[in-house]
C-alpha cells in the first residue's frame, strides 16, 4: 500500500477500498504519509466527493486512531448534542443541565470559537474558577454525581482528525462535506454516547449558508451515526439572525442563566426545549418534560452543581467589559433584518473571538441586541450595545455592522422565519 496509489485513485474518481482508507489514515497518524500527500488526497476528496461507504469507513478509521470512551457504568442513558456553530449560540449551556435534570447523562465535549462563531468553552471560562480540561476519571465522576459535564475533548479522541483538520485549514479543503461530516462524527462517536442530536444551522451566520447544503450535511452525519450504532437525529435551524439577545462570552452566560431561571429570550428557550426533547426521546426517556424542569428550578440546580463540580463559582460576578458604545437606530419603523454574520464579525473584532486557535479572548467583550426582527424601533434609540476592554476596536467593529440591518416603514407586516426548518432522523 502506498500514498500515491491512494491519491491517484481518488483523483481519478474511483471509490477507495476499506483497506486503502484504513491504511492511509493510520499511516498519516503515524507520520508515514507526509502532509503534502494528505493535502493532495484531501483536495481530491474535496473535488470528487465520497460515497456513503467511503465516509463511513473513513470515520471508522479516524475513530480507531485513538481511544473510545465507555459510559456503560453510568446508571443513566447518555445523550449528547452537537451544533455546527453560529452567532449567539449559547444553547449548550442551558441544554446540558436541563437534559440531566430530566434523567439522562450528558457527556458534552465542546470546543472553542474561531472567527465569527463563538465557542462553548470560551463562554464557560468567563465563570471564575471553571475548568474546561478534565481527566477521564474526573469527567466520569461529574457525570455520576451531577448528570452533566461540559468539557474539552482529550487528545486521545480521534487524533487523526486533529492532524487532518489542521491540514485542511491551510489547504482550502475545510468546506469538503465528507470531511466535515467525518470530522464531527468521529469525535462524537469516539466519545461513546448512546444518542446524539445534531443542530445543523443554515444562514448567513452559519457554516452552511443555505438550507439545501445544511440538509445534505445533516443527512450525511445522521447516516454516519446510524452506521456506527449511535441513535442520531438532526434539526435544521435558522442562523440568519443571532440567537437570543447577546453575542459574546460572559454576556451569553448571563443570558443562559436567565433561561435556566425560567426567563430568557423566546428563541433560546424554544430551541433549548426542542433539542432537549429530541435528546431525551433518543435516550429512551420520551415522557420526560424539559419545559417543566426549566419552570420548577431543577435544571438550574443541576447547572449550579455542574459549574461547582468543575471548579467554578456559580454565585460569582461575571466579568464586564470596561467600555461600551451604543449604536442607535437610524430611522423609526420595523426592524426586518439583523444579519447574524455581521454581528458575529463585529463581536469578534471587539475581542469576543479569535483569528487563530492560540489567540486569547476577552471574557466581557461582545454585543447586546436591543431589538430583533419584527420589533418596532425608534430613530436615535439604542439598537446595539458594543462591549470591549479595548475602545480602539469600536470603529473597526462598527464598520463590520455596515448594512447589517433593514428598517421598514412603521406598521410594515413582518413574517418571521421559523427557527426550526426541518428534522432528519
* Among 80, 89, 122, 161, the one annotated catalytic: 161
DSSP secondary structure of 192-248: T-SEEEEEEEESTTSSB-SHHHHHHHHHHHHHHHHHTT-EEEEEEEE-SS-STTEEE
Look at residues 90, 146, 398 and name the one whose alpha carbon lies nearest to residue 272.
Answer: 90
Exactly one of 110, 183, 186, 346 is catalytic; name it. Answer: 183
Distance CA 381, CA 25 (A): 56
Neighbour tally for 71: CB within 10 Å: 18
Is there a contact between 386 and 404 (Cβ–Cβ < 8 Å)? no
CA-based nearest residue to 77, from 223, 227, 228, 192? 192
Task: Pick the catalytic residue from 123, 187, 231, 277.
Answer: 187
Whole-number Cα distances in Å, 363 to 124, 254, 322, 342:
9, 12, 11, 20
Query: Given its phi and psi angles, is residue 86 left (phi above 0), alpha (psi -120 to 50 degrees) or beta?
Result: beta
Q: Which of 112, 123, 168, 231 is catalytic?
A: 168
* Closest-CA residue to 120 (of 385, 400, 372, 353): 353
57 is catalytic: no
Cell 486503502, located at residue: 20
By CB atoms closer than 10 A (0-12, 13-18, 19+), residue 234 is buried
Catalytic residue among 10, 57, 81, 82: 82
Task: Tell me, yes or no, if 187 is annotated catalytic.
Answer: yes
Q: Are 18 and 149 in contact (CB under 8 A)?
A: no
Nearest-angstrom CA–CA distance, 348 and 122 = 12
Burial 393-408 (b: 16+ CB within 10 A, else e): bbeebbebbeebbebe
Active site residue 325: no
What is the Cα–Cα distance from 101 to 294, expressed in whole angstroms?
A: 9
* Cβ-based burial of 420 (10 A; exposed 0-12, middle 13-18, buried ≥19): middle
183 flagged as catalytic: yes
Query: Residues 113, 131: contact at Cβ < 8 Å?
Result: no
Cell 466579568 locates to 319
Rounded to whole angstroms, how far apart are CA atoms 282 and 233?
Answer: 8
Active site residues: 82, 161, 168, 183, 187
Amino acid at each position: 500500500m502506498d500514498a500515491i496509489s491512494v491519491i491517484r485513485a481518488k483523483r481519478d474518481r474511483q471509490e477507495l477500498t476499506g483497506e486503502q482508507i484504513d491504511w492511509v489514515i493510520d499511516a498519516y497518524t503515524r507520520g508515514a504519509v507526509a502532509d503534502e500527500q494528505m493535502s493532495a488526497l484531501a483536495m481530491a476528496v474535496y473535488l470528487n466527493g465520497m460515497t456513503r461507504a467511503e465516509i463511513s469507513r473513513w470515520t471508522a478509521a479516524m475513530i480507531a486512531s485513538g481511544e473510545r470512551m465507555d459510559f456503560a457504568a453510568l446508571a443513566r442513558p447518555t445523550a449528547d448534542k452537537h451544533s455546527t456553530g453560529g452567532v449567539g449560540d449559547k444553547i449548550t449551556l442551558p441544554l446540558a443541565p436541563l437534559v440531566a435534570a430530566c434523567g439522562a447523562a450528558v457527556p458534552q465535549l465542546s470546543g472553542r470559537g474561531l472567527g465569527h462563531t463563538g465557542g462553548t468553552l470560551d463562554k464557560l471560562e468567563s465563570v471564575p474558577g471553571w475548568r474546561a480540561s478534565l481527566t477521564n476519571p474526573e469527567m466520569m465522576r461529574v457525570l455520576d454525581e451531577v448528570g452533566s459535564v461540559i468539557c474539552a475533548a482529550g487528545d486521545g479522541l480521534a487524533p487523526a482528525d486533529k492532524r487532518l483538520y489542521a491540514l485542511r485549514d491551510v489547504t482550502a479543503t475545510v468546506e469538503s462535506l465528507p470531511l466535515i461530516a467525518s470530522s464531527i462524527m468521529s469525535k462524537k462517536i469516539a466519545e461513546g454516547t448512546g444518542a446524539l442530536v445534531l443542530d445543523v444551522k443554515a444562514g448567513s451566520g452559519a457554516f452552511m449558508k443555505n438550507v439545501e447544503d445544511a440538509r445534505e450535511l445533516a443527512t450525511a452525519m445522521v447516516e454516519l451515526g446510524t452506521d456506527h450504532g449511535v441513535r442520531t437525529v438532526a434539526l435544521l435551524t435558522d442562523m440568519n439572525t443571532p440567537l437570543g439577545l447577546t453575542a459574546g462570552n460572559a454576556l451569553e452566560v448571563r443570558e443562559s442563566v436567565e433561561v435556566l431561571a425560567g426567563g430568557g429570550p423566546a428563541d433560546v428557550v424554544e430551541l433549548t426545549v426542542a433539542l432537549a426533547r429530541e435528546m431525551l426521546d433518543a435516550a429512551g426517556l420520551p415522557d420526560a418534560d424539559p419545559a417543566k424542569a426549566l419552570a420548577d428550578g431543577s435544571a438550574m440546580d443541576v447547572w449550579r452543581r455542574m459549574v461547582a463540580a468543575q471548579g467554578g463559582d456559580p454565585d460569582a460576578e461575571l466579568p464586564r467589559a470596561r467600555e461600551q458604545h451604543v449604536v442607535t437606530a437610524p430611522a423609526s419603523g420595523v426592524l426586518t433584518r439583523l444579519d447574524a454574520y455581521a454581528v458575529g464579525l463585529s463581536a469578534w473584532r471587539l475581542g469576543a473571538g479569535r483569528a487563530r486557535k492560540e489567540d486569547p479572548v476577552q471574557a466581557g467583550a461582545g454585543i447586546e441586541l436591543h431589538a430583533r426582527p419584527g420589533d418596532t424601533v425608534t430613530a436615535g434609540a439604542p439598537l446595539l450595545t458594543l462591549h470591549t476592554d479595548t475602545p480602539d476596536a469600536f470603529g473597526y467593529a462598527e464598520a463590520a455592522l455596515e448594512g447589517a440591518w433593514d428598517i421598514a416603514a412603521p406598521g410594515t407586516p413582518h413574517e418571521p422565519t421559523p427557527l426550526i426548518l426541518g428534522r432528519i432522523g
